[in-house]
Structure 1
Amino acid sequence: MAKKKIVLAYSGGLDTSVILAWLKEKYDAEIIAFTADIGQKEELEGLEEKALATGASKVYIDDLREEFARDFIFPMFQAGALYEGQYLLGTSIARPLITKRMVEIARQEGADAIAHGATGKGNDQVRFELAAAALAPELEVIAPWRMDEFRERFPGRAEMIAYAEEHGIPVVATAEKPYSMDRNLLHISYESGVLEDPWFDASSEEMKDMYLLSVSPEDAPDEPEYVELEFEQGNCIAINGERLSPLGVMEKLNELGGKHGIGRVDMVENRFVGMKSRGVYETPGGTILFVAHRKMESLTMDREVMHLRDSLIPRYSELVYNGFWFAPERYALQALVTESQKNVTGTVRLKLYKGNVISAGVKSPVSLYNPDIATMEADPAQAYNQNDATGFIRLHALRLKIASGVEQQKK
């Protein structure tokens, strides 16, 4: 009988290192470690050697940054996705890509199962497993943190460190940070620990060193900086005249946004599993892109198309947040979004200053704004007859007058 093969989403931290060894021991299985490079930077250093030393038979570390920007971040930003009015979905949008690649590796390697280190209280378990169900329903999904025997074996960090030492797992046992973090090309999220108290000030001087992507707005340059973003069918294709790939766009905007203290968010959000949680986010480049894209749409998108798309933003955002990226309803919404973006083309100029993204001009070869019609001066084109508004208003007022009459009769 062939030995069981499991593809594990592996970060190299204490949790997934212990999970790797524990899975191998429990299932007498061959463990294939997979790490997606989606912009974690230095967190990737030494991962292959660590995974092999921990017991992995093979290690995949795949550079998915360009695919992440092109096929996940950009379509989501075309949709104007913003969860609960604040969160740009940086962690949420990464999970379907990671799962997609895990599934591909599992099929390539003839694996029986995939495994992840997400806890039973968070959103990530749902995102991983819904994506896997959509892409590879035949694969078993193993979630150790939801298994009683795993939690009994590892009730706390001390037990995990002891297990690592006992099994020769090369994990450096350092003092635990007073928060946890997750980093990728779009953002960094910080949660738990000291941040679990929503009254705790995450912008205080004592937390200054927590932030990795941006300076505090107080420490940003005293002079504003102008930046021009060029769009083609809803996607940014160039910055300050330099044509860039989606990855290049995100890297450049992260640099500019971080320099000017842009994109910090501190919020209490509603998790899909039913609880509220406090999260602090840095999304410098994404914040600039979000504002610029909206400005471009304001000039080029039809009013009713915009309002229809906007009415669907909460639904679209929930689908991403809750893990339904590969669901048919998300594909259907994306088709509408793609159609809405066909004329979102032109250039946006922004002013970056101490945490603010300020509009400084917008132009487009397919602009729907006509100054001759919109002018408050004489209308040279005579395209708008102000007398037409009389009947327009009278018709819209009719039902209000009728309703008012009914209310008067009641009295």
Structure 2
Amino acid sequence: MGRAYRVVLAYSGGVDTSVCIPYLKHEWGVEDVITLAVDLGQGAAMEPIREKALKSGAAESLVATVTDQFVKDYAFPALQANALYENRYPLSTALARPLIAKLLVEAAEKHGADAVAHGCTGKGNDQVRFDVSIAALNPNLKVLTPAREWGMSREETIAYGERYGIPAPVKKSSPYSIDENLLGRAIEAGVLEDPWAEPPEEVYAMTKAIADTPNEPEYVEIGFERGTPVSLNGTTLDPVALVTQMNELAGKHGVGRIDMIENRLVGIKSREIYETPALLVLIDAHRDLESLTLTADVTQYKRGIEQTYAQMIYNGLWYSPLRDAMDAFVQKTQERVTGTVRVKLFKGTSTIVGRKSPNSLYSMDLATYGAEDKFDHKAAEGFVYVWGLPTRAWAETGRQ
């Protein structure tokens, strides 16, 4: 590794990223460490984080608030693709990484840094997402990964930080590793590492336990324009407000919990707990509206695209030519996905109970079994004969 004189470090305010500051300076000879803390709606006060970076030895401490960009440019395109990793996880954490990588690259270019750094370890997915995204945006920029290389235990990391004035956690730290942003929470470690153990209620913060949810269902009407959610119960909302309110509505009814065994990109199976109330409800509603407004062949073909799209986000390939190409397809399919979906929230479930659209392909006259039926039943006989002809020929050949 060639020496880097000025580095922009992705900074969270935790132990690892704080220790990265003196480690980069004293072990790797970095002269200036500029930290970048990114506000993605995680609810943390950013000023204490900014000040902690300076106290830990940062030459400059930057804060970027990009919640609106996060929802509009990352979450909503993924929602239009109905992106669910392994058909369950709506990628709340994974979607944040390409945006943070983009901000790191921009900050490095603005401040004349010759490298960027992050505090990811060697076991997770985020190291791949950061490294690959940074390489896609600026292949000449070096990426430093001290936590992946220093080989220190948690206790040794804390002790190293104390040598340089970084205080140890005041209280016993939570046994859980938690990543949080506006889209949801990801919780792992502690007792959750046993896949047989039921998650304790204490791990949840966005969703109520079923016993604590209302005893009456609540209905919410979600309005979409060209595949993007724009309103709740007839009130037009900006993207951040819409996701925030949907999180509160669904979470109040215990909707949005995921407990899954996940296949990490690095080859490890991990037990993950997620809370993503808004995303799960919005994707379900969006997919239902597509069933009303897209033709059968487009809907069915798009399902394969959606799986690939989700895998690419999870695998750190947001800035890739294939995702760009898939985006073009997805955006084309969304031109008529406008309408309203009515959702019933009750006791941990989100059930779609109604949908309507000015672009609906549903015809009551064709679908009804009543007197208004205009379907030509006589035409069906010839259709069935031609459709079944290959099967009939195969069956007759087999008898010979």
Question: Which TM-score band (shorter chain)?
Answer: over 0.9
Give yes or no for contact 2:90–2:279 (8 Å, CA) kept in 1.
yes
| Alignment correspondent of 2:160 | 163
Q: 1:40 Cα shift?
A: 1.3
**TM-score of the aligned structures, taking structure 2 as reference length:** 0.96
- State the superposition RMSD in angstroms: 1.5
- Structure-2 separation of matches of 1:287 and 1:43: 27
Matched, 1:308 2:310: no
Give yes or no for contact 1:3–1:30 (8 Å, CA) kept in 2.
no
Q: 1:406 Cα shift?
A: 3.7
- The 3-state SS of whatever aligns with 2:94 is helix
* Aligned equivalent of 1:362, options 355, 367, 370: 355
| Alignment correspondent of 1:255 | 248
- Give 1:61-210 correspondences, 5 Å limit: 61-147=63-149, 150-151=150-151, 154=152, 156-202=153-199, 207-210=200-203
Give yes or no for contact 1:54–1:170 (8 Å, CA) kept in 2.
no
**Equivalences, count:** 397
- The 3-state SS of whatever aligns with 2:122 is coil
Give yes or no for contact 2:6–2:30 (8 Å, CA) kept in 1.
no
Q: What do residues 258-312 of structure 1 show as CA deviations (whole Å, max 9, x unaligned)?
A: 1111110000011111111110000011111112112211211221111111122
- Structure-2 separation of matches of 1:3 and 1:217: 52
Q: Which amino acid aligns with 2:383?
A: F
- Structure-1 separation of matches of 2:220 and 2:38: 31
Give yes or no for contact 1:231–1:238 (8 Å, CA) kept in 2.
yes
| Alignment correspondent of 1:338 | 331
Instruction: Name stretches of at least 5 consecutive residues in structure 1 with no aligned partner.
Output: none
- The 3-state SS of whatever aligns with 2:20 is helix
Matched, 1:389 2:380: yes
Give yes or no for contact 1:50–1:170 (8 Å, CA) kept in 2.
no
Matched, 1:4 2:5: yes
- Structure-1 separation of matches of 2:51 and 2:357: 51
Q: 1:44 Cα shift?
A: 3.4
* Aligned equivalent of 1:402, options 387, 390, 393: 393
Identity of aligned residues (%): 45
Matched, 1:323 2:330: no
- Structure-1 separation of matches of 2:12 and 2:197: 29
| Alignment correspondent of 2:17 | 16
| Alignment correspondent of 2:370 | 377
Instruction: Name stretches of at least 5 consecutive residues in structure 2 with no aligned partner.
Output: none
Further displaced range: 70-79 or 311-320: 311-320
- The 3-state SS of whatever aligns with 1:182 is strand
Q: What do residues 160-204 of structure 1 show as CA deviations (whole Å, max 9, x unaligned)?
A: 1211221101442431322211001111001122211101111xx
- Structure-1 separation of matches of 2:286 and 2:102: 27
- Give 1:239-254 correspondences, 5 Å limit: 239-254=232-247
* Aligned equivalent of 2:231, options 201, 213, 238: 238
- The 3-state SS of whatever aligns with 2:33 is strand
Q: Which amino acid aligns with 2:32?
A: E
- Structure-1 separation of matches of 2:29 and 2:209: 48
Q: Which amino acid aligns with 2:21?
A: L
- Structure-2 separation of matches of 1:258 and 1:108: 40
- Structure-2 separation of matches of 1:171 and 1:162: 8
Q: 1:104 Cα shift?
A: 0.5
Q: What do residues 203-244 of structure 1 show as CA deviations (whole Å, max 9, x unaligned)?
A: xxxx21221111112221111111111110000111112111
